[in-house]
Structure 1
Amino acid sequence: MQSSPAQQDNPLLPGYNFNAYLVAGMTPIVAGEALDFTINRPNGMKGYIINLTTDGIGTIFQGDDQFNCSAGDLLLFPPNATHYYHRAENSPLWHHQWIYFRPRALWKDWLNWSDTVNHVGRLTVTDCNEYQRILTLFKQIEQEYRHKGLFYEEMSMCLLEQLLLTCFKLDPSNKQRMLDPRVLSACHFITDNLGQNHKIADIANAIHISPSRLAHLFVQQTGSSMIKWREEQRMIKAQHLLHTSNAPIYHIARILGYDDQLYFCRLFKRHTGLNPSEYRNSR
């Protein structure tokens, strides 16, 4: 999985382009076989990777930062964090489940793990039942991704949200508060209806709370207004669509709720530093 100019469709081999919104798989590394090589990405990746060791031992980093991971150990690589890992020399194998993803904005707090090395989060699952639950979620996400059935992306993201929440709750040093369920419901309503310009009153009515109370809670817990938060979500989705589809820019703008393409382009450049055409050509 070292960098290579060749492009191919197997994410376990060099040259795969991780421009998708979500990619999932299992890497069965066995000593001396085809996948037994070091992954070395000094500048990391654009998205996150969460990794669960299921068998054998892996070695992460080099020198003073080096550590090993074994069954039940989770790793979370954030964007741009160095990737350097391989099968441990004293282990005949290293099997790990992994998911590459671009997060929803409401997941931000859940992606800050307390134990980190070189910005990479670490978490050990010691309870057998919790381990099985987490492993099942990894496998369900991988199955959705591979089969690409009806609504597979939405199903994968819902399962991934469960996985990240489970890890968040297991972090023994986690001092952060969970989002109020009403705020979480508002976030889900917005992301499920990104192309609609719902007013705050519409969102509040959908989750059975007063508009003023919802607006107050939302800013208090997310640090952003609902309108600004929706805009951020739209820009995240726009980046995904620009890199994974050939849809015209005016069409992407329209499905995200913008009738004015020029206004959409200005917003996009404000968020990313590039206009949509430049962003699409940057992949």
Structure 2
Amino acid sequence: MIPASSAEKMVYCAENMDNTRTMRVFDRSEVFFHATDPLASPWPYTVPVGGQTIVTHQDGMVRRSYHEHVLILTLSGAGRVEVGGQVFKAGPDSLVWLDTSQKYGHGADRGAPWTYLWFAMAGPGLDRLHEQLALLDNPVIEDLGNLCDCFEAVIAALRAQLPDCDAHLNAQVAAAVAALFRKRAATWAAVGNDPINEVMRQLRRRIDGHWEIEAMANIAGLSPSQLFRRFKAATGTTPIFWLRQERMMLAEHLLTATTSQIVGVAARCGYSDPYHFSRDFKRHSGVSPRRFRQISRNEPTGSS
């Protein structure tokens, strides 16, 4: 996530959690790596890499696929972010959340160098939260400069590599994600009666039901074509694909946290045919339900 850049000293003013403002300085791009075994770690999140970046428009765009979620907090200048065929501007105090498994690009806008703090993260629920926050439609969230201390704490932990590094990283990731959620909560409250939100609530409430587009459209009070357009605009995906993702998230939880047989997990996730369930699950996670359970419990391959 750090392209080559000119080493120009950058001074910026960031707002602390107590609303006081202090001057901070960094004069070069730095990146720090951290290795964690997600199967052995007791912590839900991993932060494999993070750092601080100074980049100019001449350095071009970053487009490589990392298959991780990345948070970028702009300190000064402005970034250009490309997602879903659209271009967004990330100015000071804005936060960008990118799913780097999807097609994306980011680089400095024209003008002053773009300086930012960033880190990559992985863990349960991040795909789902990214979707629920509608970040596929707009990955930029304004007025989150108060997270500067959080990002600096992540980078400090990555730099120090102390024995309790993972504990510190998980605390900061949780704080950042909670701040994002709170930021969007007011918007969600304002659209609490939105028909698309009502469809999603009903799908979650009866996730094991036999759902057809016509039934979803009736809940929303829309035609099937209107539902499709509005649902995709709100979530970045189709109702059927969204429901399948919700079911796969539930399946992962049940396979990890319960001893239910595969056929029982399939039924609770809306699949009457275990073969169909296993096929969809492997397409989603890359392994069979049985193998996923073994991996999540650190069991040998031959275990049942």
TM-score by length of 2: 0.48
What is the Cα deviation at residue 66 of structure 1?
1.6
What is the Cα deviation at residue 261 of structure 1?
4.1
Distance across 2 between alignment mates of 1:229 and 1:98: 31
Instruction: Note the aligned Cα RMSD (angstroms).
Output: 4.2
Q: Is contact 1:113–1:122 with CA below 8 Å preserved after alignment?
A: no
TM-score by length of 1: 0.51
Pair 1:102-2:122 in alignment: yes
CA-to-aligned-CA distance 1:201-253 (integer Å, 9 cap, x gap): xxxxxxxxxxxxxxxxxxxxx8469652448xxxxxxx9xxxxxxxxxxxxx8
Distance across 1 between alignment mates of 2:119 and 2:78: 19
What is the Cα deviation at residue 99 of structure 1?
1.1
Q: Is contact 2:90–2:140 with CA below 8 Å preserved after alignment?
A: no
Equivalent pairs: percent with the same residue? 10
Pair 1:263-2:303 in alignment: yes
CA-to-aligned-CA distance 1:118-167 (integer Å, 9 cap, x gap): x6622112xxxx622x1111110111111110120222022101110111
Match in the other structure for 1:39? 62
Match in the other structure for 1:219? none
Q: Is contact 2:70–2:99 with CA below 8 Å preserved after alignment?
A: yes
Structure 1 residues 100 and 120, CA gap change in structure 2 (3 angstroms) = farther
Distance across 2 between alignment mates of 1:153 and 1:30: 32
Q: Is contact 1:2–1:38 with CA below 8 Å preserved after alignment?
A: no
Q: 1:49 aligns with which of 70, 88, 91?
A: 70
Structure 1 residues 107 and 70, CA gap change in structure 2 (3 angstroms) = same
* Equivalent residues, number: 180
Pair 1:111-2:130 in alignment: yes
Distance across 1 between alignment mates of 2:87 and 2:155: 29
What letter corresponds to residue 71 of structure 1 in structure 2? P
Structure 1 residues 230 and 26, CA gap change in structure 2 (3 angstroms) = farther
Pair 1:71-2:98 in alignment: no
Q: Is contact 1:59–1:86 with CA below 8 Å preserved after alignment?
A: yes
Larger radius of gyration: 2
Distance across 1 between alignment mates of 2:142 and 2:63: 23
Specify every segment of 5 or more residues in structure 1 that has no aligned partner in the other structure, as ranges. Answer: 4-10, 178-221, 232-238, 240-252, 265-283
Distance across 1 between alignment mates of 2:77 and 2:159: 25
Match in the other structure for 1:152? 165
Q: 2:178 aligns with which of 153, 165, 168?
A: 165
